[in-house]
Amino acid sequence: MRSERTRASDVFDRELDYLRNMANAGFVVAVPAALHFCRKWRRPVPDWLLSASIELLCSLLKGDQPKRRGRAASHVARLRQDTIDYNRWGTVLAQRDAQRDLLEQVESLQSWGDDVPPAIREDREKLQAWLGTTLERAFECSTMTLEGTRAFGSPDAIKRSYFKVDTAMASPKESLRYTQLDPEFLQTLGVEWEPFVRPGRKIEPMYNLSL
């Protein structure tokens, strides 16, 4: 039977290897992320990470600047935008799952006839009608769901982020940019991890929300 220490070592090796693949794919944020990871686990820095760190530091000392301009002009700004895009994409996927689940629930409740309390059936039917069944409606619902968060945006903005991430996820290399890094490390870059919240909003049925 494998020891707990062996299993923990496997987890460390797997996560560090993932960060190495991310760095090899050109996402330099993986280099400090991997250093942070080694320090957190109190493990020695491997040779590949030491070499990558020296290369990155030399690049910064030479004053190398990213060629792109605008919101994604720096690695941190790009990471922040990638995080927003990923959160929007995930929210849309959750809305699509909810659309399918609710449609099945309503159809099932309707088949039970009078055995279901009217209030329960009415609540499910209202929520299903509010969520709809289309992708466009999922964008609208995501806008309402993300209100008050950094990922908030118009349905069109949600749509752009969704297709951007969805396309990247089909590429083994590009999908690495959406790796969910340690929240503690992200804070050192000024990129705060944000749980799903609707600040300052009382709890109410979702079908009472509107754009």
DSSP string covering 91-160: HHHHHHHHHHHHHHHHHHHHHHGGGS-HHHHHHHHHHHHHH-SSHHHHHHHHHHHTTTSTT---HHHHHH
- In angstroms, rounded to a whole number, what is the distance separating the alpha carbons of residues 41 and 185? 13
| pLDDT given at position 206 | 57
Q: How many residues does the chain have?
A: 211
Q: What pLDDT score was predicted for residue 202?
A: 41
How many other CB atoms sit within 10 Å of the CB of residue 98?
A: 17
**Greatest Cα-to-Cα distance within the chain, rounded to the nearest angstrom:** 75
Q: What is the pLDDT of residue 48?
A: 96
Distance of CA 196 to the CA centre of its chain: 11
Instruction: Tell me the C-alpha distance between 74 and 69, whole Å.
Output: 8
pLDDT the model gives residue 158? 98
Predicted local confidence at residue 180, as pLDDT: 86
Distance CA 157, CA 97 (A): 20
Cα(126)–Cα(10) distance, integer angstroms? 48
**Contact, 148 vs 90, CB < 8 A?**
no
N-to-C CA span, the chain? 56
Q: If the chain, 211 residues long, is cut into consecutive pieces of 10 residues, what is the mean pLDDT of each piece?
A: 74 94 94 96 96 91 59 74 94 95 90 82 90 96 92 97 97 92 88 58 52 67
In this prediction, residue 72 carries a pLDDT of 41
What amino acid is encoded at 113 in this protein?
Answer: G
Q: What is the pLDDT of residue 49?
A: 97
pLDDT at 194: 67
Q: Can you give the pLDDT at residue 211?
A: 67
